Amino acid sequence: MKQYLDIVRAVLETGEEKPDRTGTGTLSMPGAMFQHDMKDGFPLLTTKKVPYRLVASELEFFVKGISDKDWLRERNNHIWDEWCTPLKIPYAHDEATKQRMLEERDLGPIYGWQWRHFGAEYKTFDTDYSGQGVDQLQRLIGDLKTQPHSRQMLVLAWNPMDRDKVVPPFCHYGFQVTVLNNKLNLFWSQRSVDTMLGLPFNIASYATLLHLLAKESGYEEGRLTGFLADVHIYKNHIAGAREQLSRDPSAHPLAKLETENFTSIFDWSYTDTKVVDYKSFPGIKFDIAV
């Protein structure tokens, strides 16, 4: 995972101080690219332990188009606990508001809801949206199976009409797939990149999505590419970033990803997919900036 560490190093060496929505402060760098060939292994960081169970269950949450964070909590996944839709609790930094945000279960029209119901009117997490909006994921898979040479296999999460209904608003806002030489390649675009806490999850999540789409369509797994815009390290993450850079990325080989009993991505459960032979350095504590 040298490419990831190169991004970390570049932000520390060239990043400039910049204020941010959370009030934490960042070092920020304008633009980077992450690339990985899936034939080299599954890109789960080895320079710190990444809990794949959380990555995979969040991806199932997205694929199913769910916006109720209790679904994640029931699976002991708490990465969305601090957030909720401003439609219910207007975003603020004071402790009373943070507590109300923690207790509210409605996340609003977030990533997966946009993947499955783009253009529909969002109401509540428990509204039945069947047949409403554009099911972009279904359309992408249909195109992948019927016209795999298309350059229009694109899924967007960024909907300007819904930007103010979610916090944070669609950090990774779209992905595209292409097929070349019988290999499926996936490209994702990200406007805001939390390099230490978020990016390792984004890499593993989109690599898993690539893996699942390849199984769905019968193609081999190709290249994963991330186009990264505002690449930043929060100031309270700098010490951990330096610790991670001190670790040898070649000390542990990359793991492999295996999925059992696969029939369709729409029937997939995160427990069907396992990371095999994953070894890493210990985890590093990075506090989330809310």
Phi and psi, residue 216, nearest 5°: -60, -35
Comparing C-alpha atoms, which of 137, 144, 140, 142 is closest to residue 115? 137
Cα 83 from chain centroid (whole Å) = 16
Q: What is the DSSP string of 249-288?
A: TTSS--BEEEE-S-S-TTT--GGGEEEES---PPP---PP
Cβ proximity of 108 and 165 under 8 Å: yes
251 is in an annotated binding site: no
- 229 token code pair: 């815009």
194 is in an annotated binding site: yes
50 is in an annotated binding site: no
Whether 171 is catalytic: yes
Place of tokens 């060939």: 37
105 is in an annotated binding site: no
191 is in an annotated binding site: yes
Torsion of Cα atoms, 92 then 98 then 101 then 102, to 10°: 160
Q: Distance between CA atoms of 27 and 129, rounded to whole angstroms?
A: 40
117 is in an annotated binding site: no
233 is in an annotated binding site: yes
Cβ proximity of 247 and 281 under 8 Å: yes
The DSSP H or E segment spanning 54 is helix 52-63
232 is in an annotated binding site: yes
Looking at 171, 184, 214, 255, which residue is catalytic? 171
Eight-class DSSP state of 75: T
Q: Which residues are catalytic?
A: 171
**Binding annotation:** 21, 191-194, 202, 232-234, 289
